[in-house]
Chains A and B, each alone.
Chain A
Amino acid sequence: MFRKVLFVLLLVSVIISFGAKIQITIWTHEDPNRTRIEEKYIKEFMKMYPNVEVKRVTYPSDKIRDIVLTAFAAGKGPTIFNLEIQYAYPYITNRRVVPVDLNAIGLKSYDELKKLYVKGTLDAVTYGNMIYGLPLEITNWALFINKKYFREVGLDPEKDYPRTWEDLMRISEKLTIREGNIIKRRGFDFRYPYYLTFFLPMVEQLGGALFDKKGNPVVINDQAWIKVLNFMKEWGPNGKNLGSPTYPAARKEFNKDNNTIAMCESGLYQILRIKEENPKFYNSNEWMVVNWPIWKDAVKDVRCNYYGHYYMVNMQASRPEREMAWKLIWYMLSHPEEYLTEVGLIQPRLSLMQSEVFKKFPYANVFLEDLEKSHMIPLHEKDPQIEQLLKEMVESVMLSNVSPETALNTFKKKLAQLMEE
């Protein structure tokens, strides 16, 4: 009797689990261009696998970290997600995500997978011989310029564009329009909270570093750091007053072409955002992109650090869900050319980088030139806290008149404290 009941129960559960659709949720940061193409791929995918239901949700990029984190802590994380790699890294080290399912994507080995990508671009998600994510985009920043404003102040953008940080400051001063001390138009402004991305390479260009050879965070070459901090101090409201973290984000204002900013730093995707948001400006040919600056007396030619977004799959998803999730990711990512032409994202696939499409894409060569000289932001489990400490240091120098030496010492002390824990 008991056995019969058990058997029936088993049968029912098998039927239910087969009949039920496999639910997959994707959480990703907002980007209207990407949403359009990914929604399309998802539709196609659901046609191919009618038993799969996919729900894609977007969040603003500075909110998604907290949201994914609180959800994961709750055991309610999405099946698929992506974060900037420095924020996604703890998910790997805490074993909250699963390695790429080779069967699902139809490959034989991780080596085969690695061969499809530009060398080193999977290192960030490699942990203990396994690969935990597939790259959606690798992003480095270059310098965007609004040519109109250059000509307005008597500069020829094609010839006089800034090549060094010193140039950048000098030209920015020319471009800035103020009423008294109040800035109405900035020449250039940084992308403030992203200190691991833009601040560290500025230090490295001068021979400094934040990580030793073993990957432990430690301040190397104080002089380099102090020079960069001095530059930031000069930049800020207590120096030459060229910009500050409290003004609206430079890259956001740039697209509007409304005389509030002349230059900003951003990734290739910015180009298609301009096209989307302000087609008139996009078509006007009044903007251009040049290489990220370097110090006049630089000792090392590195450019802006690049960061990556990798699609990852939740450990807590069920087996069939995981498998389908990797299939879906692989399917979406198998359109690298469209990701480039529609969204402006660079998937570091060799096939893409060598393609005509890539070569013909506006300013792709500029980004590629920089990319070849740069490296990924250093990964560490405590990256979020380290970035916070960098932020505090730079802000204390820029906004609160703390001397660079003092700020650097405070930073060292706090860094040591953080690492002790």
Chain B
Amino acid sequence: MRRVDTKNTFSKLLSLVIDVAIWFFLIGFAVFVLIPVVFMFTASLMPARDIMSIPYPWIPRTLHIQNFWQAIKGNDGKFLFPRSILNSLIVASLTTLGTVLLSALTAFGLAKYKFRARNVIFLIILSTMMIPFEAIMIPLYLLIVNIGWQDTYTGLIIPLIASAFGIFIMRQFFITFPDELIDSARIDGANEFMIFWKIALPNSKPAIAALSVLTFRAQWDNLIWPLLVVQSPEKKTIPLYISQFASEKYTNEGALMAAAVIASIPMIIIFLSFTKYFITGAELFTGRK
């Protein structure tokens, strides 16, 4: 791509200039993207006074570890932040687990079994993609209230596990899944559910991994649903806790940034260990892979 066959030096020079410009653009953009991240990390180690000083020091003069202690402890000293991290992990993991299993099961049924109205059902499922969560949050909230799932993990998780997108992805995958594997298992006497559990699931790890990562990321980020469902402090997820922590009277900027750092750590770990799936997950979305 970089070697263009041209004879005169002018266009070579031009090419070089463009190349340098592109590098500047890419690096400049990387700086823009990373500055807030660096700011968050450095500010988390500074007293509030330094964070708001002009110019911003960038390198903490002393390590103001108290910020982290205050963030963990919370203003009321009830250590609700660790609890909210746990809640977020629980809710995001269970939702992911539910979504993946349900999507795989449904997609397997749609891809590998012939029954009446199969295509209609698939279309109906796809049509739920048109319903934005924000449009149904209020009725959904009232529904949860009526079932009595208000302020429960169940209420946070169950309404979110059926995912048309997940079914779509998994179906794409299962369509190319070899029928011979299924047939030979059937001849060996396995029942249909065992075929799904023992043959289909273990052989679809890449698709499952990508879908898991996508779902986990989305649920980890969810603010609006817990905002409606959760009331008790012990059930708050991180986004909810953080937004509350920010509005408390005693919170200083340093502690807030420390909380932001701590809140980001689990996802950073997941991101670094599963980078591949974050990237392929996005690729799945264009429906090409």
Contact = CB atoms under 8 A, between A and B. Distances in A.
Contact of B232 (A57, A60, A277): A57
A74 B145 contact: yes
B228 A70 contact: yes
Contact of A252 (B49, B227, B228, B249): B249
A63 B232 contact: no
Interface string A234-274: 00000000000000010110001010100000000000010
Contacts of A57: 232-233
A251 B49 CA distance: 17
B272 interface: no
Contacts of A73: 142, 145
Given A60-B248, A75-B145, A179-B54, A32 B76 contact: yes
A385 B150 CA distance: 26
A76 interface: yes
Interface string A50-66: 00000001111011001
A182 interface: yes
Contacts of A74: 145, 150-151
A74 B247 CA distance: 25
A30 interface: yes
Given A70-B228, A71-B231, A184-B54, A63 B244 contact: yes
A35 B250 contact: no
A370 B275 CA distance: 63
A63 B240 CA distance: 11
Contacts of B228: 70
A252 B256 CA distance: 15
A418 interface: no
B151 A76 contact: yes
A350 interface: no
A67 interface: yes
Interface range on chain B: under 10, 10 to 19, 20 to 34, or 35 or more? 20 to 34
A182 B54 contact: yes
Contacts of B244: 59-60, 63
B75 interface: yes
Nearest to B243: A63
Interface in A8-43: 30, 32, 35
A67 B244 CA distance: 12
B248 A76 contact: no
A249 B253 CA distance: 13
Interface centre among A30, A71, A74, A273 (most CB of B within 10 A): A74
B264 to A, nearest CB: 22
B226 to A, nearest CB: 11
A71 B75 contact: no
Contact of A76 (B227, B231, B247): B231
A59 B76 CA distance: 10
A35 B233 CA distance: 16
Interface residues of A, number: 28
B248 A58 contact: no
Nearest to B151: A76
A30 B248 contact: yes
A251 B52 CA distance: 18
Contacts of A76: 145, 150-151, 231
A232 to B, nearest CB: 23
B150 A71 contact: yes
A252 B75 CA distance: 14
Interface in A315-348: none
A161 B252 CA distance: 29
Contacts of A252: 249-250
Contacts of A30: 75-76, 248-249
B185 to A, nearest CB: 47
Interface centre among A35, A179, A252, A273 (most CB of B within 10 A): A252
Contact of A258 (B49, B54, B75, B232): B49
Contact of A58 (B52, B76, B227, B231): B76
B250 to A, nearest CB: 7
A71 B250 CA distance: 26
A301 B75 CA distance: 39
A35 B76 contact: yes
Contacts of B233: 57, 59
Contacts of A273: 249
Contacts of A63: 244, 247
Interface string B125-164: 0000000000000000110010000110000000000000
Interface string B21-63: 0000000000000000000000000001100101000000000
A75 B231 CA distance: 12
A273 B247 CA distance: 17
A70 B76 contact: no
B54 A67 contact: no
Nearest to A249: B249
A32 B48 CA distance: 22
Nearest to A180: B54
B77 to A, nearest CB: 9
Nearest to A260: B52
Interface in A59-102: 59-60, 62-63, 66-67, 70-71, 73-76
Interface string B72-96: 0001100000000000000000000
A70 B231 contact: yes
Interface centre among B49, B76, B248 (most CB of A within 10 A): B248
Contacts of A258: 48-49
A73 B138 CA distance: 12
- Across the A-B interface, the 4 shortest Cβ-Cβ residue pairs: A74-B145, A74-B150, A71-B231, A60-B248
22 contacts: A30-B76, A30-B248, A32-B75, A35-B76, A57-B232, A57-B233, A60-B244, A60-B247, A70-B150, A70-B228, A70-B231, A71-B150, A71-B151, A71-B231, A76-B231, A182-B54, A251-B249, A252-B249, A258-B48, A258-B49, A260-B52, A277-B250
Interface of B: 48-49, 52, 54, 75-76, 141-142, 145, 150-151, 227-228, 231-233, 244, 247-250, 252
Given A70-B150, A182-B54, A273-B249, 19 more contacts: A30-B76, A35-B76, A58-B76, A59-B233, A60-B244, A60-B247, A60-B248, A62-B247, A70-B228, A71-B150, A71-B151, A71-B231, A74-B145, A74-B151, A76-B145, A76-B231, A249-B249, A252-B249, A256-B48
